[in-house]
Each structure stands twice: as structure tokens, then as C-alpha cells.
Amino acid sequence: MFSNTDIITQFFTVAIIHLFAVMSPGPDFVVIAKQSIRQGRRIAIYTALGIGTGILIHISYCLIGIGFFASKSTYALETIKILGAFYLIYIGISTIIVKNKLEINKKNKTKTNVSFYSSFTLGFLTNILNPKATLFFLSLYSVIIKPDTTFLVQAIYGIWMAIVTALWFCFLSIILTNEIILKTFHKFSDRISLVLGFILIIFGIRLLFSNII
């Protein structure tokens, strides 16, 4: 029988593995960097909340069993991979094309017409269309989390990971929009946007031609 000690041990294992995974640079990190530098703190935080919410989608299909089907379906994973790859390439190209400079005021806000919905959706789609995130959670829920772990406990794990993800990227948004850092970035904003755009395109191309199965 699964004891409370087993649950605590399993929780810390899941928490540590997830923390290392979320802190490793990837598409989510690059998107947050782009939003922080080009759009400012508020928009970057909205994007971070979208990324955190995206985690709940991964958790949901793991909990209801669709994750098992997806892990066995080459077609499903290939579809996610292709959609995710083209979405990253699209974001990268958009980042390179848009050349507007940041206008920073004393309150560390950026004059922008970007809405909560569009910035939240950007983070959300970037996360849920990342097949490596899909495989990460499928592996986590099939290997690390034991089959006899109750549905409630598994759901709590998922909510924890979603909150930690959102908090991590909100923290990055605050760090990257620090007044001193942001003013430094502002001097090279076009160059930085160009680099971030190319990184996203490279992520997309590598993903498109990668074998994730």
C-alpha cells in the first residue's frame, strides 16, 4: 500500500525533476525573453501565466488516460511535433520582422497595444505545442509516478508543477525587465530580437527534423 512517506518521497522526486526541466533553456524561456525585452514586464508576466496554464493541459491528458494513447500513437506525436515546429518558426519570423524599439518609462512599463489574451495565448500555445514537454509529462506520469498513486494526489502534483512553472517564468520576467538590465537591452533591442528570432527558428527546424519517438 502507498504510504504517506511514499507520497512525500515521490512528491519531492517529481518536484525536483520538474524544477530542473523547467529551468533548462528552451522555447518557453526564449519567448519570455522576447516578451520581456520587446513588450515589458506586464506582457511578459501574462505570457508566463499562459505557459503555466499550458502545463495543466499536459497534466489533464495524463490523468484521463489520453497520454497512454498519445505515447503509443506515432501519428499523434508526429502531428504535435509538426504543429509545434511551425509555430516556433512563425514566432521566430515574427520576432525578426517586427523592428519596433521599446519605449521604457520610469514605471518599467512599455507602451504597447498587446492584449492580455494575445500574450497569454502566445505562452499557452508555445507550451502545449512543445512535443518535448508532452513526452516529459508522459514519462513522468508513467515512470516516476506509481500506478497506485491516487487520482487526487496525481492532480495535486500537476497543479504544483503548473504553479511552479508560472512562478519561474514570472520571476524571469521580473529579472529581465529590471530597469538597469532593460536599459542595457534597449540599446541593442533590434540585435537581441534578431538573435531571439533566429533561436526560435532553429528550435523549430531542429524539432521538425528530429526523431522524438
pLDDT of 119-173, one tens digit each?
999 999 999 988 778 878 887 887 777 778 888 998 999 999 999 999 999 999 9
pLDDT bracket for residue 54 (50, 70, 90): very high
CA separation for the pair 207, 105 (Å, rounded): 38
CA separation for the pair 141, 125 (Å, rounded): 22
Residue at 156: amino acid letter: I
CA separation for the pair 200, 206 (Å, rounded): 10
- Chain segment 68-84, per-residue pLDDT in tens: 555 556 676 677 678 76
CA separation for the pair 109, 164 (Å, rounded): 25
Indicate the average pLDDT of the chain: 80
Mean pLDDT of 1-24: 84
Q: Hey, which residues does 110 pair with through a beta bridge?
A: 104
Model pTM? Answer: 0.75
- Least Cα distance to 45 among 114, 105, 92 occurs for 114
